[in-house]
Structures are given as structure tokens and as C-alpha cells.
A and B are shown apart, each in its own frame.
Chain A
Amino acid sequence: DTAVSQTPKYLVTQMGNDKSIKCEQNLGHDTMYWYKQDSKKFLKIMFSYNNKELIINETVPNRFSPKSPDKAHLNLHINSLELGDSAVYFCASSQWRTNTDTQYFGPGTRLTVL
């Protein structure tokens, strides 16, 4: 059983297109995240949702819009894709405000914008 899953695993698209990445967790967590790993391999937080509400939004362009239909899902929609959006995007989940901030990650989605 995959704890945190993402689809698709690979996404190749043209500049200017709109695309979505889906994330689902079956851990019963109430908080989900999106991270971006750039070409320099740094993992940076983009968004965090707790109980479907946005709690962290780290200077991400408006073209990126997360959507959380329920606690188990956090999808990422990207409008007007740019070359610089090429990266690996990781979804993660955790239980909010426990003493441990352990986040569990999905396998990643490699986005390539041509």
C-alpha cells in the first residue's frame, strides 16, 4: 500500500500549457504539502494545507494553484507553464502539531517544460 502517491510520475509539456499533478495520502493525516526540488537539488516548500485550508504559501507565483478537495488529496494546478517550472515536485503529508514534524513524501513528479 502506497502511503503518499502522486500522478503522473513524469510530465513533459510545452511552454504556455496548463497542467495538474495529483496527490493522495492514505495515512489519515490532516496536513499536506507541495515541495519543489530544483536543478540544484534543493527541496523547498511551496504550499501547505491543513484540513483543506491553506496555511503555508511560500512566495510561489499565482500561476500555481493548489486545490484540496478533502484531507486526503492535494492537487497542484499550474497555469501558463514556463521553462523555469521544470523540476521535480514532491507531495508530502503529516499530522498537524504533533510533537514530531515528520512528513512522509510521495515519489515525486518530474515536470519538463519544453
Chain B
Amino acid sequence: DQQVKQNSPSLSVQEGRISILNCDYTNSMFDYFLWYKKYPAEGPTFLISISSIKDKNEDGRFTVFLNKSAKHLSLHIVPSQPGDSAVYFCAASANAGNMLTFGGGTRLMVKP
């Protein structure tokens, strides 16, 4: 039973355009959400996070939006760069226990 789902296994975007990666969750106890970026043969790298008390968090080219009523979050990358090509994982936690539940990942390819 997947509590965190990333329904798009891959996404291809042109350099300079916006990349939008989506994530849905089912557990209403989740109150903290994170995005990780992963290059091949490396560990996931923390990118950006958002608490459930907010609906938006921005860090440079990266913005995460949270829609609690829809149990949906998205990561926007603007403008997209070839170096952004990686697998992006959405993760969530219920804050008690520091246990992260990950989605299955979305492979982003940014074409020059």
C-alpha cells in the first residue's frame, strides 16, 4: 500500500521551460514533505521541503506547492537546466519517529 505516489515515472522538458513534478499522498497524518534529487550511483540529495502549515515554499529556482485538501504536492523548477536531469523523489513524514515514506520517483530529463 503506497502512501506516497508519484504517478509520472518520467518527464521530459526543454531547457529554460518549467518542470512540474507531482506527488500524491494518502496518509492525512503526514505533516512534513520533502523533495530529494538523485543522480545515478549517488545517494538522494535534499532539495526542498515544506511543512503542512504552509502552502508554498520557494528556494531559488525551486518551489514546492502543497494542497492539503487534495493531498497533493508539486515541485516547480523554473527555469529548467540540463543539470537538473535526475530522478526526483517525494517524501513525507508524520514527524513522530522521523520516518520518511518515499514515492517511487520521477525521472526528469531536461533537453538542451
Interfacial residues, chain A to chain B (CB-CB below 8 A): 4, 31, 40-45, 48, 50, 55-56, 90, 92, 94, 96-97, 99-108
Contacts and interface: CB of A to CB of B under 8 A. Distances in A.
A94 B49 contact: no
Given A31-B98, A42-B104, A108 B32 contact: no
Interface in B37-51: 41-46, 49, 51
A4 B95 CA distance: 22
A101 B43 contact: no
Interface string B34-71: 10100001111110010100000000000000000000
Contacts of B100: 45, 101, 103
Contacts of B43: 4, 90, 92, 105-108
Contact of B49 (A40, A42, A92, A102): A102
Contacts of B25: none
A19 to B, nearest CB: 20
Contacts of A44: 102
A50 B96 CA distance: 13
A101 B102 contact: no
A50 B97 CA distance: 10
A100 B102 contact: no
Contacts of B32: 100-101
Contacts, number: 57
B105 A104 contact: no
B98 A94 contact: yes
A10 to B, nearest CB: 10
B102 A55 contact: no
13 contacts: A31-B98, A43-B44, A50-B98, A56-B98, A92-B43, A100-B49, A101-B32, A101-B34, A103-B98, A105-B43, A105-B44, A106-B43, A107-B42
Nearest to A104: B46
A103 B46 contact: yes
A96 B98 contact: yes
Interface in B59-112: 87, 89, 93, 95, 97-102, 104-105
